[in-house]
Chains A and B, each alone.
Chain A
Amino acid sequence: AAGVIQSPRHLIKEKRETATLKCYPIPRHDTVYWYQQGPGQDPQFLISFYEKMQSDKGSIPDRFSAQQFSDYHSELNMSSLELGDSALYFCASSTGQGALRYGYTFGSGTRLTVV
C-alpha cells in the first residue's frame, strides 16, 4: 500500500540558508500535517492543511511557511536556518474524517541538519 512520502530523507544546510521539505500524502488523503521532532524530544505540531487551506497552526516559526498544492502534496519552506532547526521533520496525512478516529499515517521523516 502507498504510504506518505517525504523528500529528501536527509538534508544538510548551513546557517542562514533556505530549505524546502516535500510531502506526498497517501492517495485520496486531503489533510496534511507537519511535525518537528528535536533530538530526544517528542514531536511538536507545526501546521496542517485541509483541502489546500491552512486548518491549524502550532509552534511554527515565522521563518517557516508551508502550503498544500492542488495535487495535495505539501511543502515546508524554511528560511534563515538556525542551528536549533536541526530536527526530524515528519509529515502525516489523513482524510478529513478519517483522522478523527484513526490518527493519521506518518511519513519516514526528513532529517535536517543545520551546520
Chain B
Amino acid sequence: AQTVTQSQPEMSVQEAETVTLSCTYDTSESDYYLFWYKQPPSRQMILVIRQEAYKQQNATENRFSVNFQKAAKSFSLKISDSQLGDAAMYFCAYRTGYGNKLVFGAGTILRVKS
C-alpha cells in the first residue's frame, strides 16, 4: 500500500522569507502523481501544485515550487516570499496512474509571522 509521510507537524516562517515543507512517500508503482494541497481555516481544499512522476523537471507555480527526488521518494514544497495568506495546513498527496483515490499525508501546519 502507498503511504505518504509528512514529518513536520508544524512550521513557521517570517513574512517574505522562504520555507520548505517535507514529504516522503512509499510506493512500488512507477507511474504516479504527486500533489500539494492547501487547507486554510475555511477548510477548503485547494490544489497548490502537482508533479507527474515521469517528468524529471520540478513543477513550479508562481511562488510555489517542488523538489522532486524520485529515487529518494521525496517531494518537498518550497514557498518563496511567504505571505500571510499562505498560512494554512498543507497536505502532500499521492495518486497512482491507475487508481482514483488520493492518499494524503498527515499535514503540516504553516504559520506565517508578520
Check A45–B45 contact: CB distance below 8 A.
no
Interface residue total, chain A, C-beta cutoff 8 A = 27
Check B42–A108 contact: CB distance below 8 A.
yes
Contact residues on B (Cβ < 8 Å of other chain), bracket: 20 to 34
Check A42–B100 contact: CB distance below 8 A.
no
- Taking CB atoms, residues of chain B closer than 8 Å to A109 are 43-45
Check A48–B100 contact: CB distance below 8 A.
yes
Q: Which residue of B lies closest to A31 (CB)?
A: B100
Check B100–A50 contact: CB distance below 8 A.
yes
Given contacts A42-B106, A42-B107, contact A103 B47 (CB under 8 A): yes
Q: Which residue of B lies closest to A41 (CB)?
A: B106
Given contacts A42-B106, A43-B45, A88-B43, contact A48 B101 (CB under 8 A): yes
Given contacts A33-B101, A42-B104, A48-B100, contact A101 B43 (CB under 8 A): no
Check B99–A42 contact: CB distance below 8 A.
no
Bound Cα distance A57, B109 (Å): 29
Bound Cα distance A68, B101 (Å): 17
Bound Cα distance A106, B37 (Å): 10
- Taking CB atoms, residues of chain A closer than 8 Å to B95 are 99, 103
B16-75 at interface with A (beta carbon < 8 Å): 33, 35, 37, 42-47, 50, 52
| 5 contacting pairs across A/B (C-beta < 8 A) | A42-B107, A48-B101, A56-B100, A99-B100, A108-B42
